[in-house]
Every structure is written in C-alpha cells, then in structure tokens.
Amino acid sequence: MWSWIRKTAKAAALAAGLIVPSVSSSCLPTEGERIDLHNQRVRLTFIHTSDIHSRLFPYQYTPLLPDRNAGMQLGKGPYGGVARMAHVVRRERARADRSLHIDGGDIFQGAPIFNYFNGEAEIRSLSEMGVDAMSIANHEFDRGVITVATQIQKWATFPVLAANYWTEDPSFSGNSPINSVLRPYTILNVRGLRVAVVGMGNLSTLSSIYEQPNRLGILPFKTRDIAQFWIDFVRPQSDLVVFVTHLGLEGDEQMIQQTEGIDVVLGGHNHIVVSPPKQVFDCGGIEQEQGFVEIPNDKGQITRRFCKPRRVLMMHSGAFAKFVGRLDVDVTDNAQSVNDAMGKPDFYDPVNGFEVLAHNMEIFPIDNDVAEDRRMAQMLEPYKFALKDVGNLDLLVGYAPAEVRRVSPNGGDSQLGNLVATSMWLRLGVQTDFSLTNTTGIRADLPRGPVTLENLFNVFPFDNAIAKMQLSGGEILELFDFIARRSKLRGCTSQVQIAGAFAVYNCGGCDPALRPDLPAATDACIQQLFIGYTNQVCKQNSDCDPDPKKAENSCDKTIGRCRNPLARNGSYELATSDYLASGGSGFRVLQRNTTQFNTRIQQRDAVTDFVRIGKPCGWQTGAPGTAGGLLTCSSDKDCAGLGDYVCACPEAVEPAVSSAITPLSCRTKPTQACGSAGRCVLMDCRDDVAAFHDSEDCDQAGAAGKDKCRLEACQMAGEQCKLLACVDGNIGAKVDNRQVMLGR
C-alpha cells in the first residue's frame, strides 16, 4: 500500500510539474538580490482566512458568545464582506516584512451569489485579494466537479491544493477534470525563506468520496500516511512546512500527533476561532524525550520511525467572512537558538530546517468599522446589481419581532429548526408522518426585522429538495440511534431537527427497561421515540400507559393527547432532505432505502411558502369578525391594549426620525384620524419595514425626492405590516422541547 501511495503521489507531483518547486513570483527577491538567511532570526506573517461561504457582501447577524469572545462586538453590523476583508489583508501585509495569505477553502456556498454565479465571484474575490494558496474543501464541489474545475481554471491566480486526493487523468474521455487544477503542494519563496504549503482537502462531509468509482473522480488517502509522505517529500526543498487543511479541529490534531516535521497548521471546517493558536505535540502527541511515528513499508508492514516531539502551532480563523487571522512566527535554523528556546541541549535536528522560536496571533473582526477596499468593491459591483435584477432578493416574506435562532438553548430542538421541520412536514404534496432535517444544514439565524428572500437563501443556501420514503419502525430506531451517536460527538447536541415526532436521546446509554434490544455497553441511543398521537385524551402520563417507565413523556399536556410510541414492526412515512436521503453526513440507513421519492420541492421554498401564509403580528382570533383579523382603529389610543402597537393608515402617518446614523422611524399624525382602513400593527414592524425601504430606495431618490420617498416608505410600511406574516411562535418558530437530550 505504501509503495503504491509513494508511486502515485510522485506521479501526481511529476504531472503537475512539482518536483521542481513552484515559486510565487510576487515573493521572489528583486533582481540581483541575494538573501542568505542561515543562522538568522526571521519573522514571517501568515494571513489566514477560511470558510468564507460566499459571504462576499456584508450581512446582518447577531454575534454569538464565541464570536464575541473572539472580539466581535454587538451593534457593529452589518458584518463580513470580502471588500472589508481585502482592506484588512492588504493593511496587515503592508505592515509585515514577509507575508503569505493562505485560505482554507469552502469559499463556495452560503449566500445567493453562489446560487446564481456558480462560484465565479468567489474565486475572483480570492484572486483580487492576493491569496498565495488555497486548499480545496467540500463545498467547492456543491455544483459538481466540472463547475469548480472551470471556475478555478478561468479565475484563480493562485495554486489550489489537495495532497490527500488522488485524481483521475483528465486526458481520458469521461474522467473528472479536477486533476488539471489541483496540486498537492506549492513552495513559496518569501524573500529567501522557502515555505512549503501542503493542502489537505476535506474527507468527512464529502459523502460520495468513499464510493468508488465516484462522480468526483477522487480517491482519498489516509491522512496520516499521505501527510507524512509529503512532509518527507517537501522538507529537503523548503525551510518551513505549513499545512493548510479542511479536516476540522480533531482531524488537525490527529494529523499532527501521528506525523513529525510540520511547523504550522492553518485549519478550517469547524467555523471556529482558535486564538491563541493551539500547540500540539507531533511525534506521538505527548511531550517526551523520544516518540515515534508509524509508517507503512513497501511490504504493507508498519514500521516505527523514532523522533523528538515538537510543538506545532495550529490556528483556525473563523468563518463567514467574520474574521481575518494574522499569525506572526519568528523562525531560525540556528541550532543554539533553537536549543535555548526549547530548554533542551541537542534538541535541534537539521533535517527540520527552520524552527519556530516565538509566535503571536491577532484576530481582526470584520464589522462596520472596517473600510472597504475600493478595487474589490468595484469588482463585485456588477454581481450586486445583477442579483437585484435577477434574484428579487429584496422580496419581503414576513416580519420577525425577535431573532429566530437556529441554535438550541438546551441541545435539542431550536426555534428555526422547528419552523423548518414543520414547514417540510405540512407542505402540500408532502404531508408525511414525520419530518427530519440536519441541524447543520440550517446555516444562519433569521435576524429580527423584515424577513426577505435573501434571508431565506442565507438560511438555506443549498438547493436541497424534500424527499419522501417509507421506513419500518426498526429502520427508524436504527436511524435515531445513529443520530444519538452523532449528537454525542457534538457535545450531546441534536444533529437533526424534527416535526411530527417526540424524541428522548440518552448520550450516556439508554435505560435497559426502555431499550432491552440494545447491548448494555451502548454509549448513546434513542431512549424514547413517539410519532404522532393516539385518540386517547390525557392529563398525566399514567393515563397513556400503566407502566411508569414507558409512560414517561407519553402525555402531551399542551393538547391533552397521548403520544403514539414507535412500533418496531410498524410502517411510517418520512420527509427529509434529498441530501440526507442520498447518504449525506453518514445517513446510510436512508441511503439504502428503496422507496425514496424526490418531490422536487426545495426546502427553502417550503419554508418561504409556509411563512408567507402566516398571520400578521397582532392578529386576533375572532376579531373583528368570526374569521379573525387585525383590530380596527382610528388612532393609536385604540391599539393601547395590545402593547407597542400603532394605528396604521396611509393618510395619518409621517416620517419621524432619520439621519446618517439613525434609521428611519415613523409616527402617527396627532391631528389626523384613520378611516375605515385603520388597523393596529406592531410599531416595530412599521418602523423596521420603513427603514428597509428607506435604505433600499430613498438613497437613490436624490436630495429633492428623499423626503417624499421617506413619507411613502412610512405609508407603505404600515400597509405591508397588515399583511406580512409574523415569524414567531404562532407559526412554530419556538422551542417546545420535542427533542430531549439526557446525559449532557
């Protein structure tokens, strides 16, 4: 096996012309300049970005605690945008003596610009930003291998790396073209310092990569084996060995511990910030005088290579264009300096070239305080206008009086997760026994305020459709046991969102009285599962089952009905995403089901339509007529009993506040009463929708037309709030604890 890996990897390097180091011309010394860095202490700056996920334009977002801990401040939105990132990147590179900008991949997928332009704008943005190298990642393949290969060929001015993929020869008819754009490594000469950058593509979430042959034309290598091979291969040609990876935090740590010779790892995939950088020991993973790494030999046997464990720096710089990371390292090949820094005589090994003596990391939040780079903004401007013309992304879908979160407060169900699952479950043409979607497929919160089609593209950037299938009770138990195991690995946080069902997971092992079919040593499982309801009414659990164990959670006291326990020999219909149905994220029990039917109804469309048929904020059942409606009014006093509501009609509203720093708000004219069209609407809805129209339309009206435009914005906002659906608990956007996580 090792012999085959060595031969194929060398063949890949030869095919790409990489036996002779590829050198970035922008990093070369000037003509006639000779730089000898031997025995010198040299500072190198890494600018690191990763997981931008098509967030090329600033967007509204409420920073979560991990982001705030990394330096993101509340009230500094909108956040992100590559024009701002480019400003920070160029500023920091100008302040550095030697620098490289390395990107960790997943530049594709996450905002509507990708859905319409297939990654063209993303690759152009990295090229404009001056990226020196990038690792390819899983979402680069979301529109197929031909799309990503084409965009890289047309627009990338930097090498795209993946040392752990063996790709087909594109010269053969029908083979994947990805081989023509990927290379395992590149060597960058940064004013005399030779830096080998090795890329490691994602393995865990490319669901079809292990099925051979696969549509990607990629054969994956084991991380440990191929990483050590390329370390040994590039080390004689370089001073530093840097890995840019999309393996995730755990994958990075394991790779470092199982190899020797890496200096720095710039990681991605988990969307986290690791600052200060983590220091992980290579050569066995623990600090000791001597460790070893295991390497397969030509006979397929494992041999041990003994080595001295070294500290390897590992940094992650967040996701969604929210941060830019900077890592400064001081390096030298002076043996005495290295030995003194490590506090160990004879520690330095000349084979490793330059060693890291000291480091410093900074994380720069990308918020409203950051200026935009003019060249990047100009490059993106045509895409921005095209999205407005083609996508109709400003279409108002509803109004959210508070942020609708995708993250669960207790590890189970979330506000947005329940809304999404319910919209799939009840969709006309679907309407199954229960529904299920993956938690990580819901990519963004719904911000407070007007909900637009663009917001829903951010929630569901993937064009996943709803699939239906028939499952036996036994298959469903297998499915939910798998979910329990996956959830335990993520801090006992449910990895799915459901509707039509009630689930109790136990991350510490199930009660044998409830799951006698499982071995006693089972570490995580579904302990109780109910799908739908019986006809039996109840006030307490004992009304549903005399067995105290089985009766637990069986009565839904909110509606006074007994939940229906899963029958192992029963048959149930499931609605899920076509991604999970095809085995994505490891859902093999769904992949092998032969009853699948793809409805072609996109999840995004199901959520959009479900929200749009909802009632506006302030809707009163039974008032003013038997069909219900908004309260009629002639002045704001008529709405006082509802709380922060105002009487809305076009003739009795005017702009109140608007400036460069204060958004437009509206007020009801004190001397003008509303006629028969007056209705009580949420005051925040009227103000927020008016401010939305002000920012979208009135800036283009010019000084003369701005006052009139703002008056029309207030009038339009009041009328729209009479119709816009209220995205709140009344349409299912609430936590109701339908998923309970035990053993957290």
CA distance 85 to 272: 17
Which has the closest alpha carbon to 97: 48, 27, 198? 27
Residue 739: exposure state from Cβ atoms within 10 A (0-12, 13-18, ≥19): buried
Residue 730 included in any domain: no
pLDDT tier for residue 462 given thresholds of 50, 70 and 90: confident
- Which letter, b or e, does each residue of 470-505 get, where b requires 16 or more Cβ atoms within 10 Å of its Cβ? bbebebbbebbbbbbbbbbeeebbbbbbbbbbbbbb
pLDDT of residue 24: 44
Among 161-165, 544-548, 697-701, the range scoring the smallest mean pLDDT is 697-701
Q: Do residues 271 and 250 make contact, with C-beta atoms less than 8 angstroms apart?
A: no
pLDDT of residue 355: 95
Residue 663 scores a pLDDT above 90: no
pLDDT tier for residue 217 given thresholds of 50, 70 and 90: confident
pLDDT digits (tens, 9 = 90+) for 487-515: 998 899 999 999 999 999 999 989 898 99
Residue 682 scores a pLDDT above 60: yes
Residue 372 scores a pLDDT above 70: yes
CA distance 324 to 712: 41
Residue 565 included in any domain: yes
Structure-block tokens of residue 225? 């084996």
The answer on 467 and 362 residing in a single domain is no
pLDDT tier for residue 105 given thresholds of 50, 70 and 90: very high
pLDDT tier for residue 29 given thresholds of 50, 70 and 90: very low
CA distance 685 to 449: 7
The answer on 117 and 231 residing in a single domain is yes
Residue 666 included in any domain: yes
pLDDT digits (tens, 9 = 90+) for 151-186: 999 999 999 999 999 887 777 766 778 888 999 999
* CB contact set of 371 (below 8 Å; sequence gap of 6+): 84, 87
pLDDT digits (tens, 9 = 90+) for 581-630: 998 888 989 999 999 999 999 999 999 999 999 999 999 887 655 457 89
Q: Do residues 482 and 586 make contact, with C-beta atoms less than 8 angstroms apart?
A: yes
The enclosing domain of 23 has a CATH number of 3.60.21.10
The boundaries of the domain holding residue 79 are 2-378
The answer on 370 and 479 residing in a single domain is no
Which has the closest alpha carbon to 554: 543, 500, 476? 543
pLDDT digits (tens, 9 = 90+) for 39-77: 999 999 999 999 999 999 999 888 988 999 999 999 898
CA distance 501 to 737: 11
Phi, psi of 356 (to 5 degrees): -80, 120
What is the rounded average pLDDT for all residues in the chain?
90
CA distance 540 to 554: 8
Q: Do residues 551 and 446 make contact, with C-beta atoms less than 8 angstroms apart?
A: no
Q: Across the chain, which distance is largest between two alpha carbons, in Å?
A: 93
Residue 744 included in any domain: no
The answer on 569 and 422 residing in a single domain is yes
The answer on 345 and 402 residing in a single domain is no
The answer on 654 and 563 residing in a single domain is no
The enclosing domain of 442 has a CATH number of 3.90.780.10
Residue 739 included in any domain: no
pLDDT tier for residue 701 given thresholds of 50, 70 and 90: low
Q: Do residues 56 and 122 make contact, with C-beta atoms less than 8 angstroms apart?
A: yes
The answer on 206 and 239 residing in a single domain is yes
Final residue in a domain of this structure, among 579, 614, 649: 614
The answer on 374 and 401 residing in a single domain is no
CB atoms within 10 A of CB 297: 11
Structure-block tokens of residue 112? 């509507």
pLDDT of residue 178: 86
Residue 5 scores a pLDDT above 60: no
Beta bridge partners of 653: 668
Residue 30 scores a pLDDT above 50: no
First to last CA, the chain: 41
The answer on 288 and 248 residing in a single domain is yes
Q: Do residues 198 and 244 make contact, with C-beta atoms less than 8 angstroms apart?
A: yes
Q: What is the mean pLDDT of residues 554-564?
A: 96
* Tally of domains in the chain: 3
Is the pTM for the entire model greater than 0.85? no
CA distance 604 to 420: 9
CA distance 668 to 688: 15
Beta bridge partners of 597: 468
The answer on 694 and 602 residing in a single domain is no
The answer on 290 and 189 residing in a single domain is yes
Residue 459 included in any domain: yes
The answer on 167 and 42 residing in a single domain is yes
pLDDT of residue 400: 97
Q: Do residues 636 and 647 make contact, with C-beta atoms less than 8 angstroms apart?
A: yes
pLDDT of residue 315: 97
Residue 701 included in any domain: yes
Residue 627 included in any domain: no
